[in-house]
């Protein structure tokens, strides 16, 4: 039982990371209709910027996190402004491929600045643990879960109570009607990219503070967040959070019981679990747990 709960805890921590990234996917998808493959690159960029702020510039870790998120947000908004705005009106698959291209530009850019070797981010959490009952809870994991919860609450409050949030919801619902009300679609697009990039950066830096350290392959975590987005439904923020947690749990539990249950399927089955869950979901409930069911008449 303890082992099970321990795995569940690891799953929640991992799932929080997925939830943050998936939330970023949903924000961009809802407002611009683009599936953003570059999220992983922004995640890695945020994590490495956090590393530079925390280690090289010796800024307090909490401030470093904020700075990393803000810088990533600026990069995200700048990318929207410089590249994607030219693509307005182009078919969606062209825009998606642009984001794929950006991912493949960001990754080598990061390795050429920071190199390939594993880096340890200076952070106050380190490998401290808290014992609760028979469980050993990592301080970093607790912070990841706590920060994610705070950010998700802030996220929903932003969309519920601020005028910019309302403008973004209106644009997502009907861009033309929103324009007619005097809402600046440009600002909405730029802000959604900034929010998504900041969420990715937060996910990246909390991940980099963990036992795995920081290496270029960190961007792959964002690819595994796609299944979370599909599971939740492409256009549902709440679904993305739930999907992230479920995928995280499924992956951690598979890893925990790899030797007992999954040894027949080869090593490290947990790595592909998110994608297998995604395929099952697409089979039985293609619009996800909370997504809008696609209704159309011919």
Judged by CB under 8 A, which stretch of 67-75, 130-138, 167-175, 282-290 contacts other proteins?
282-290
Q: For the window 197-236, what string marks contact with other proteins as x by the rule CB under 8 A?
A: --------------------------x--xx-xx---x--
Name the minimum Å distance from CB 292 to other proteins.
Answer: 12
Using alpha carbons, select from 167, 166, 158, 291 the residue that is nearest to residue 236.
Answer: 291
Within 67-106, the residues that bind other proteins by CB under 8 A are 83, 86-87, 90-94, 96-98, 100-106
Looking at beta carbons only, is 208 or 234 nearer to other proteins? 234
Q: Is the Cβ of residue 164 or residue 271 nearer to other proteins in the bound state? A: 271
Question: Which tokens hold the place of 80?
Answer: 């929207």
Polymer length of the chain = 298
Residue 65 C-beta-side C-alpha neighbours within 13 Å? 19
Q: Tell me if 161 contacts other proteins by CB under 8 A.
A: no
Q: How far apart are CA 40 and CA 197, in angstroms?
A: 9
Separation CA 155–CA 148 (nearest Å): 10
Task: Tell me the C-alpha distance between 231 and 150, whole Å.
Answer: 22
Nearest to 36 by CA among 103, 90, 134: 103
Please, which residue, 164 or 279, has the CB nearer to other proteins? 279
As given in the structure block, the two tokens for residue 91 are 């078919």
135 or 223, CB closer to other proteins? Answer: 223
CA 292 to chain centre: 21
Rounded to the nearest whole angstrom, what is the least distance from the CB of residue 103 to other proteins in the complex?
7
User: What token pair was written down for 270?
Assistant: 């947990």
Site for other proteins, residues 162 to 201, rule: CB under 8 A: none
First to last CA, the chain: 53
Q: How many residues sit close enough to other proteins to count as binding (CB under 8 A)? A: 51
Minimum CB distance to other proteins smaller for 78 or for 223: 223
Of residues 7-26, those binding other proteins (CB under 8 A): none
**Residue 9 Cβ vs other proteins, minimum distance, rounded to whole Å:** 25
Residue 276, interface with other proteins (CB under 8 A)?
yes
Nearest partner of 225 among 295, 274, 282, 177, judged by Cα: 274
Give the binding range for other proteins (CB under 8 A) out of 131-139, 175-183, 193-201, 290-298: 290-298
Q: What is the DSSP letter of 129?
A: E
Q: How far apart are CA 170 and CA 186, in angstroms?
A: 13
Binding site for other proteins (CB under 8 A): 35, 37, 83, 86-87, 90-94, 96-98, 100-109, 111-113, 116, 223, 226-227, 229-230, 234, 265-269, 271-272, 274-276, 278-279, 282-283, 286, 294, 296, 298
């Amino acid at each position: 039982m303890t082992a099970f709960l321990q795995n569940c805890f690891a799953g929640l921590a991992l799932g929080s990371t997925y939830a943050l990234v998936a939330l970023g996917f949903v924000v961009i998808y809802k407002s611009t209709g683009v599936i953003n493959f570059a999220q992983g690159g922004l995640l890695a960029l945020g994590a490495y910027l956090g590393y530079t702020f925390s280690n090289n510039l010796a800024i307090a870790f909490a401030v470093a996190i904020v700075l990393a998120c803000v810088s990533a947000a600026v990069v995200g908004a700048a990318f929207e402004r410089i590249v994607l705005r030219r693509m307005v009106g182009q078919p969606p698959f062209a825009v998606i491929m642009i984001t794929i291209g950006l991912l493949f530009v960001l990754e080598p850019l990061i390795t050429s600045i920071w190199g390939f070797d594993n880096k340890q981010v200076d952070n106050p959490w380190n490998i401290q643990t808290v014992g609760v009952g028979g469980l050993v809870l990592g301080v970093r994991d607790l912070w990841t879960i706590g920060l994610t919860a705070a950010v998700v609450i802030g996220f929903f409050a932003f969309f519920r109570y601020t005028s910019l949030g309302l403008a973004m919801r209106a644009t997502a619902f009907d861009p033309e009607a929103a324009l007619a009300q005097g809402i600046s679609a440009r600002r909405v697009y730029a802000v959604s990219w900034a929010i998504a990039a900041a969420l990715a950066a937060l996910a990246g830096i909390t991940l980099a503070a963990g036992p795995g350290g920081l290496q270029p392959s960190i961007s792959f975590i964002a690819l595994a967040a796609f299944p979370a987005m599909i599971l939740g439904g492409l256009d549902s923020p709440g679904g993305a959070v739930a999907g992230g947690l479920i995928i995280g749990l499924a992956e951690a539990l598979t890893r925990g019981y790899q030797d007992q249950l999954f040894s027949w399927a080869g090593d490290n089955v947990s790595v592909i679990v998110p994608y297998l869950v995604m395929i099952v979901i697409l089979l039985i409930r293609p619009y996800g747990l909370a997504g809008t069911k696609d209704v159309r008449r011919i």
